[in-house]
Homo-oligomer: A and B are copies of this chain.
Amino acid sequence: MFIGLTFFQFIFTQSQEDKMIRRIYDEALLRGHAYEDLRSLCKEIGPRLSGSSEAAMSIRWSEQKMHSYGFDRVYLEPIMVPHWERGNPEAAWITHPNGILEKINICALGGSVSTQGMMEGELVMFNAIADLSKAKPKEVSGKIVFINQPMNAAEIQTFKAYGACYPIRGNGAIEASKLGAKAVLIRSLGLPNDDFPHTGSMRYEDSIKKIPAAALSTQDAERIADLLASGVSLTFSMEMDCRNFPYEPSFNVIGELLGSKYPNEIITIGGHLDSWDQGEGAHDDGAGIIHCMEALRILKVLAYKPEHTIRVVFFMNEENGNMGGKTYASWVKEKNEKHLAALESDRGGFTPRGFGCDASDSIFTKFQAFSPLFEPYDLHLWERGGGGVDIGPLKEKFTDIALFGFIPDGQRYFDVHHAESDVFETVNKRELELGAAAIASLVFLMDTVLF
C-alpha cells in the first residue's frame, strides 16, 4: 500500500507540474509580451551604457513596465556607476608604403583613454597575446601593437572560445604598454568574418602608462595581417575621443511577487539593463532582462501565488564595473535577507538548451531530476555551473546560495556580441519566448519543489 500511495502521489505531482509548465509555455507563446517589450527597449531607447541618458531612460522604462504588469512591489536600488563615453566616432586608416590610404573601422574598447588628437605609429603584429608578453621592448617601443589572435572556431562551446581570448581585450593595453607601445589594437572577439568591430571592457594598471586600446573588425584584422605577413611596413593613424567622467548615481530596477508563505525568503532572477554603446544591446542583455520580467509577468498572469518572494532585478553596469551586482549583494546582506537562490540570463535570446546549477549536491540532484519535465520542450542540458557576473557577488555573501544560469544555444551569440550588429532584428520571437517560458518554469519548480 505504501508503495502504491507513493507512486500515486508521484504521478499526481508530476501531472500538476506538467500542467503548470504547459500553461506557462502557452502564455509565453500565445499571449507573450517579451518580443514587443524587447522591441520597445531596443528601438525606443537603444543602447544604454552606464551613465548615459539612455541608461537613465531605460531605468524609467523598466520601472513603468514592471508597474504596468502589477508586480507587488517595484522599486529602485541606488548605486554608483562609472561613466565612460566614446565621444566622436573613431577614425583610423593605414598608410601603405606607396602612400595609398585605406580607411579602417575601429572602435575604442570600453574605458580606453583617448589618443589626444591624431596618433600615428608603425604597426607591429603578434599572433597571440602570449607572443606579445615574450617580446622585447625594442620590437615594440614607439609602435602600435596589433594582436591578431582569433577566437577558436573549432570550439563547439563558443563561450569557452570567448573566455580563452578574453585576456587579449582585458590585458592587451597593459602588456603592450609595458614594452613601450603607443597604443594597442586587437582583433575583435567575434566569430564571423565581417566588418563590425566588437567593443568590451579592458583594464589598466595604475603603475603602467595608459595607452589607447581599440578593436578592429575581423575582416580588417585579416586584411592587415595579410599585408604585414607579406613584409609590407604599415603606418597606422588613429583618433579616439574617449573620456572618463567621475562616478555617478544610477539604479538597479527591482520588481517582486511577494511570497505567500515565506515573504522574507528570496529567489532573485535577472540580467543587466545596461549595454555597450554600439548596437541596441538586444541579445546582450536586453533578451536576458526581458526573459526575467516576462517570467514574472507570466507567473502573475497565471495567478500563481509563490511561496517565496520572487524578485526580478535589472542590474545596472554589468558591462564596465559590475557595480549593480556588487552593490545588490552587499545590500541584501545588510538587510539580513534569507537569499535562497539566484538565476541569471546573460547569454542571449536564442533557443533554450537548458540550465547550469552551482549548488549543494542535494539541490543539484533535485535540479537534475527536473530534466524529464522539460524533454517536451527540448531542454537537455542540466549541468554543473551557472551563475554569471551579476549574481556572482551573492555567492561571496551567502555561501549556501544556489546559483543558476540559463543556457540558450550559443552558436550565434558571438556574431553580434558588443557590436553594432546586436540589434532587435537578430532576435527571433519564438526563441526569445521559449527562453522566458523555460525560466518561468524553473522558477516555479524552485519555488514549489526545490526550496
1/0 per residue A264-283: CB within 8 Å of B?
00000000000000000000
Is A378 positioned at the interface, with any CB of B under 8 Å from its CB? yes
Residues of B within 8 A of A30 (CB): 153-154
Query: How far is it, in angstroms, between the C-alpha of A430 and the C-alpha of B429 when the chains are bound?
Result: 21
Does A26 contact B430, Cβ atoms closer than 8 Å?
A: no
Contacts of A153 in B (CB 8 A): 29-30, 430
The complex places the Cα of A26 from the Cα of B26 at a distance, in Å, of 40
For chain A, the bracket of interface size reads 20 to 34
A351 to B409, Cβ gap below 8 A?
Answer: yes
Within 8 Å of chain B (Cβ to Cβ): is A63? no
Per-residue contact bits, chain A 153-176, to B (CB 8 Å; 1 contact, 0 not): 110101000000000000000000
The answer to whether A412 has its CB under 8 Å from any CB of chain B is yes
Query: Does A380 touch B at the CB level, under 8 Å?
Result: yes
Q: Do A430 and B412 form a contact, CB below 8 Å, given A154-B26, A380-B380?
A: yes
**Distance (Å) between the CB of A130 and the closest chain B CB?**
20
Q: Within the complex, what minimum Cβ distance (angstroms) separates A285 from chain B?
A: 20
Most B C-beta atoms less than 10 A away, residue of A381, A430, A431: A430
Closest B residue, CB atoms, query A433: B153
* CB atoms of A154 and B430 under 8 A apart: no
With a CB–CB cut-off of 8 A, which chain B residues contact A126? none
Query: A411 an interface residue at 8 Å Cβ cutoff?
Result: yes
Interface string of A428-451 (1 = CB under 8 A from B): 111100100000000000000000
Interchain CB contact under 8 A, A156 and B25? yes
Within the complex, which residue of B154, B191, B431 is in contact with A411, where a contact is CB–CB below 8 Å? Answer: B431
Which residue of B154, B409, B429, B430 is within 8 Å of A25 (Cβ)?
B154
Taking the complex as formed, is A321 at the interface, i.e. its CB lies under 8 A from any CB of chain B?
A: no
Residues of B within 8 A of A376 (CB): 156
Q: What is the distance, in angstroms, from A344's C-beta to the closest C-beta of chain B? A: 20
Instruction: Check: A390 CB closer than 8 A to any chain B CB.
Output: no
A428 B409 Cβ-Cβ under 8 A = no
A319 contacts the other chain (CB 8 A): no
Residue of B nearest to A377 (CB): B156
Which residues on B sit within 8 Å (CB–CB) of A25? 154, 156
Q: Give 5 nearest A-B pairs by CB, closest first.
A: A380-B380, A411-B430, A29-B154, A29-B153, A26-B154
Using a CB–CB cutoff of 8 Å, the interface residues on chain A facing chain B are 25-26, 29-30, 153-154, 156, 158, 191-192, 351, 353, 376-378, 380-381, 409, 411-412, 415, 428-431, 434
Other than the given A30-B154, A156-B378, A191-B430, 13 more pairs (CB < 8 A) read A25-B154, A25-B156, A29-B154, A156-B377, A158-B430, A351-B411, A409-B409, A411-B428, A411-B430, A411-B431, A412-B430, A412-B431, A415-B428
